């Protein structure tokens, strides 16, 4: 595995982590999005990561992430009689998003982003050391 491979793989990890963080941010931003009881609730977004095929040497090529709205469309009924979307009984439909789960996932996604950024930083240091070795001769 070359250092360029390490940078490419970690770069795909950065992109996947950023996609995950964006999906979590969207979920958190819509946690209080009310809809009429006759409609569907906001669906929480989750990220599906897939492996990018690597070379024949068995080393993977990184990861790709896609955002998938897989949350529950039923949501939860909440009594909000002052809401303009409330039905005649005063209920609206809110998304069924667990904030503690979202915050835990956000921490994991941030750590993954930091780990991939660290790998790229270390690979850059190795490249720089190799260049300096070549200059000293």
At 77-113, the pLDDT tens digits run 999 999 999 999 999 999 999 999 999 999 999 999 9
In this predicted model, what pLDDT tens digit does every residue of 4-62 receive, in sequence order?
Answer: 778 888 899 999 999 999 999 999 999 999 999 999 999 999 999 988 887 666 667 88
Closest CA to 60 of 104, 13, 28, 99: 13
Question: With contact defined as beta carbons under 8 Å apart, do 20 and 53 qualify?
Answer: no
Torsion of CA 78, 80, 86, 89, to 10 degrees: 80
Angle at CA of residue 55, ends 49 and 61, nearest 5°:
25
């Amino acid at each position: 595995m070359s250092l360029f491979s390490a940078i490419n793989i970690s770069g795909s990890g950065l992109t996947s982590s950023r996609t995950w963080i964006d999906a979590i941010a969207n979920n958190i931003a819509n946690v209080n999005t009310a809809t009429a009881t006759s409609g569907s609730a906001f669906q929480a977004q989750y990220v599906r990561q897939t492996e990018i095929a690597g070379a024949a040497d068995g080393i993977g090529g990184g990861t790709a992430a896609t955002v998938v709205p897989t949350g529950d469309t039923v949501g939860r009924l909440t009594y909000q009689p002052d809401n303009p979307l409330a039905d005649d009984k005063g209920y609206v439909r809110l998304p069924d998003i667990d904030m503690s789960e979202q915050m835990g996932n956000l921490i994991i996604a941030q750590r993954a982003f930091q780990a991939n950024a660290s790998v790229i930083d270390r690979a850059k240091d190795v490249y720089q050391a190799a260049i300096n070795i070549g200059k000293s001769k």
